Amino acid sequence: MDRDECYQLLRRRTLGRVAVHIGADITILPVYYALMDDDVVFRTAPGVKLDAAVLKSRVAFEVDNGNPPWSVLVHGYAEELRDKQLQTQARARLPSDWPAGERERLVRIQVDSVSGRRLVPAS
């Protein structure tokens, strides 16, 4: 898939997975997300996702679908959004259907690559 098609598919979803590498561990966690320009934004609580953002770590982000089967993979650097104007923009885009609990910190993945593929079932 080309970049435009990948972004079209990313805009259709609100649930994805972020993969972070902290120390010797790689952790993959679900997040409700939105796009802000061409970057991924999501809410989080203190923990491994926020740690990765504070450290400006390189992360992966993935969204997929089962029928029809497709997958979009994003790579970039995570950062905590601290600028009030950017926080307001991110909150306006984020879905309201996130899990219970305090998730008031905002993370942006500054995308440097996006790729996708459609999976063709065996005939």
In the chain, domain spans: 3-115
- 3-state SS class at 10: helix
Q: Which residue has the higher pLDDT, 81 or 22?
A: 81
pLDDT at 100 > cutoff 60: no
Condensed to tens digits (0 to 9), the pLDDT of residues 31-45 reads 999 999 999 999 888
Share of the chain above pLDDT 90, in %: 63
- Maximum separation of any 2 CA atoms in the chain, in Å: 52
Question: pLDDT tens, 43-90?
Answer: 888 888 888 888 888 999 999 998 889 999 999 999 999 999 999 999
CATH 2.30.110.10 fits 3-115, yes or no: yes
Q: How much of the chain is helix, strand and coil, in % rounded to 5?
A: 20, 50, 30
User: 58: helix, coil or strand?
Assistant: strand
What does the alpha-carbon distance between residue 108 and residue 121 come to, in Å, rounded to a whole number?
34
Asked if residue 20 has pLDDT above 80, the reply is yes
Q: Which of 120, 21, 4, 15 is nearest to 78 (CA)?
A: 21
Distance CA 52, CA 40 (A): 14
Question: Average pLDDT of the chain?
Answer: 89
- Global pTM reads 0.88
